[in-house]
Structure 1
């Protein structure tokens, strides 16, 4: 059954995406390979789970972005934005994992690991998982922001770097809302049985939130969301510099007008905007 489901998935992705879909499938295969062949054995060998997760995330981001979108300056910008936001997520998660005194013993499966696999840093393992979990959403945001800035510049090459940044961030605001909610739902869905268990136990919301198994998901969600939000201005600024050129001479004010008048709106890229 699982084999047929996998075949159906490949057919659907290839039928709709064609070459891009094929590259996406190859990227997915690379991700699975890194997770199974590199992360798991490396952690079991006693290496620091956080360091392993960071190296794995960098490799996955590098390979998948260039494989899916090709080697170009804009892809490099998306990669730089992804790694920068990922580093911020790591630092925030590290700080708040320490402040909330997360030990890693909150989940039952984590209790079995020391007996089956020896001495493993469970808190570090959860922190590494937070880094890997944020990577997928970060790729989506950074690639979209670079594409948006490139499209805006193609339609309005007279815009300055600052105007490109302002326009790109306006597009990014629309993307942030849905992506942050996606990250929340992903973590909440994984913890749904636990939430139901706490619901039937008649505990207060504060008591539930202070249990480690729930606190881990809260820290992951909030720190990951901050990283996602930070990725928008970071990637947009770098994309604007690369696309427009940081040293490009500014146009006369009479030609470009004010930022409010000249900056394109999201509606400009809809069907009505194209017809005009």
Structure 2
């Protein structure tokens, strides 16, 4: 009996042929995808000649100077001049003097030290701007030597609070997650670099938008997952599940954009891009956005599923692969429910102003949902959510196939006088 128990323990620590085959297939798949990704990166990397000319942010001669707010005037009231359209500035309406304006002391440029009044938008005045805040002004050169330059409000300097929040975020991650959290931040920086230096230029250069997004996303996932979680069969399992679910999302997104007849030009950003980026395929741009939008959630779900199955194997070494898959799926279903809420509520929060505006219009709900801008977001959300749901059984199945084989169930011999089982 002791010999049999020792043999079973040894079997648990040595990979069975089925384990070795499954892991070999997994690593071969990841190696082939890596080679394809690097080849795609080389083929799609845009040259400087393919990129559109840089667009000047301001007219020639216009410069930006720093200033410090000294006085914030009242915001102009809003009045309704028609049944639907709120407007301001009617001639017969009394307004506070100099409303919607700021007094600022110029801190740089030829007029440094001068105080001047500039007009601002009502939203700027109502944003909580206070004396002492730093702002940026646009300086328009004088048309003639005898004339004074014209100044206009540009934006508020927000560097200090943004840097403070970033530092706080890094510190919290480092304290709570330690080395793994720091490595995740490094991976996040790498992802930002790929988007900025490859994905965006590739799209502007007129490369296939879906191919650019897929290659960039796959490269990001390779680096982010292995950097944050370390090279292991568990991480490789999560990566394979992520890549396959990403393929589902990309295919579904490309189909949905065509089926719903989306143009990718539902907002003013698309209209501006049309003027300056002649080679840009806006429908492919929309699909690329769908692919990239699902990366973070996919990463979360697949690494959780892979870890769950491997931990189940450690806790229950005698479970069959079928039982492991069933247990992992029960965990995954709970995760799916909470993550779907995350996707939907994240969009609802960012688009709350738009949703409020649409709710004010006297239009049937079906027409509102069919509008270009909402249809884009519905397609983006649903494609990401379907890819997310598909990632759970995919990753769970890969993990159940690549964990160590189940240990044989060892039965204790029956005691003397007891019937044998």
Classify the TM-score, shorter chain: 0.7 to 0.9
* Residue 196 (structure 1) shift: 1.6
Select which of 310, 314, 319 maps to 1:159.
319
| Match runs of 1:52-91 below 5 Å | 52-91=212-251
Give the corresponding residue for 2:305.
145
Tell me, in whole angstroms, the C-alpha distance in 2 between the residues paired with 1:26 and 1:96.
34
Is the CA contact (8 Å cut-off) linking 1:160 and 1:244 kept in structure 2? no
* More helix as a share of residues: 1
* Residue 190 (structure 1) shift: 2.8
Give the corresponding residue for 1:15.
175
Select which of 314, 328, 332 maps to 1:172.
332
Higher relative contact order (CA 8 A, sep 6+): 1
* Residue 252 (structure 1) shift: 6.6
Is the CA contact (8 Å cut-off) linking 1:142 and 1:232 kept in structure 2? yes
Give the corresponding residue for 2:390.
230
Tell me, in whole angstroms, the C-alpha distance in 2 between the residues paired with 1:111 and 1:254.
73
Select which of 165, 172, 193 maps to 1:5.
165
Give the corresponding residue for 1:221.
381
Give the corresponding residue for 2:100.
none
* Residue 111 (structure 1) shift: 1.0
Give the corresponding residue for 2:150.
none
- The TM-score, its normalising length taken from structure 1, stands at 0.87
Quick check: 193-202 or 150-159, which moved more? Answer: 193-202
For the structure 1 residues 230 and 19, does the alpha-carbon distance in structure 2 shift closer, same or farther, using more than 3 Å as the test? same
Deviations 1:144-188 (A, max 9, x none): 001100111101000011000000000111100011111112222
Give the corresponding residue for 2:195.
35
Is the CA contact (8 Å cut-off) linking 1:145 and 1:168 kept in structure 2? yes
Runs of 4+ in 1 over 4 A off after TM superposition: 251-255
Tell me, in whole angstroms, the C-alpha distance in 1 between the residues paired with 2:336 and 2:410.
32
* Residue 219 (structure 1) shift: 1.0
- The TM-score, its normalising length taken from structure 2, stands at 0.58
| Match runs of 1:232-251 below 5 Å | 232-245=392-405, 251=408
Deviations 1:207-263 (A, max 9, x none): 111111101111111121111111111100100111134xx68x57989xxxxxxxx
CA RMSD of superposed structures (Å): 1.7
Q: Secondary structure at the match of 2:207?
A: coil
Stretches of structure 2 lacking an aligned partner (at least 5 in a row): 1-159, 413-421
Is the CA contact (8 Å cut-off) linking 1:89 and 1:131 kept in structure 2? yes
* More strand as a share of residues: 2
Is the CA contact (8 Å cut-off) linking 2:318 and 2:409 kept in structure 1? no
* Residue 60 (structure 1) shift: 0.7
Is the CA contact (8 Å cut-off) linking 2:194 and 2:216 kept in structure 1? yes
Quick check: 210-219 or 113-122, which moved more? Answer: 113-122
Is the CA contact (8 Å cut-off) linking 2:205 and 2:280 kept in structure 1? no
Deviations 1:100-156 (A, max 9, x none): 100111112111101122231111101100000011100000000011001111010
Larger Cα-atom Rg? 2
Select which of 350, 357, 370 maps to 1:190.
350
For the structure 1 residues 157 and 193, does the alpha-carbon distance in structure 2 shift closer, same or farther, using more than 3 Å as the test? same
Stretches of structure 1 lacking an aligned partner (at least 5 in a row): 256-276
